[in-house]
Amino acid sequence: MRNRVTIAVKDGVADVRLSRGDKLNAIDRAMFDALAEAIQMLATRVDVRAVVLSGEGEGFCSGLDMAAMAGGELAGLDLSARTHGPANGVQQVAWGWRTLSVPVIAAVHGVAFGGGTQIMAGADIRLAHPATRFAIREVHWGIVPDMGGFALWRGMREDVLREWVYTAREFDAAEALAAGFVTRLVEDPRGEALALARRIAERSPDAVRSAKRLFGAMGRAPEDMLAMESAEQVALMRGANFREAVRANMERRRADFRDG
């Protein structure tokens, strides 16, 4: 994908890597396009049951490529156009991970600055190395986070988030964990993320996708959520993967689930 993103799929797990490591995976126009293309492609893969998102080189993502921005490379982006459902093309590279039907696990190391913090926020689960450095840098450049961050950061401590956004200061992994910015700290984020994705891929893909739909609907009125839970459960219990899960558990063997 134009030397910006690589994807390898094995045993139901898509290993997605930002591949501009020589630039700390800074986001230029080609990176925007490649990430959107990757999300679109993954959305069509019925054989993918979980996604791991990481960055090559010494950091996850250092945010916008400011040299490219200063050179006018990003000037043609239309931020008012809703090109991907509720999102514009810029927001899609972060918001799009949340819209995938399968869990996405971000493996973060080195740095996650600016747009990088918003891309990782699109993941269902975020594993970070204890030495990772974070910063929501947009106000430093006289702009605001606009890649879906404010929609994706719901649920974390708002007062802490406000401080980080208003000051643009750098913060460490311990602060990120305490505020709910990351899920947990691990010495090998990508290795742990791949292992976790493989465990998810062993579960019924129907049940996992159903659970993600329910998480996506959280915040609706209680009566709507209760009805949705029931509808999802009825559909699952009518399916072949439910019957296989029951049989496999009773027979103490690994289940053979079907995709699609």
- Domains of the chain and any CATH numbers: 5-200 (3.90.226.10), 204-250 (1.10.12)
> What's the average model confidence in pLDDT over 204-217?
98
pLDDT tens, position by position, 119-168: 999 999 999 999 999 999 999 999 999 999 999 999 899 999 999 999 99
pLDDT confidence of residue 77: 75
Supply the DSSP string of 190-237, one letter for each residue: HHHHHHHHHHHHTS-HHHHHHHHHHHHHTTS-HHHHHHHHHHHHHHHH
pLDDT tens, position by position, 161-192: 999 999 999 999 999 999 999 999 999 999 99
Confidence band (pLDDT; 50, 70, 90) for 70? confident
> What's the average model confidence in pLDDT over 49-55?
98
Supply the pTM of this predicted model: 0.95
Q: Is 124 exposed, middle or buried (0-12, 13-18, 19+ CB in 10 A)?
A: buried
pLDDT confidence of residue 169: 98
Phi, psi of 155, deg, nearest 5: 105, -20
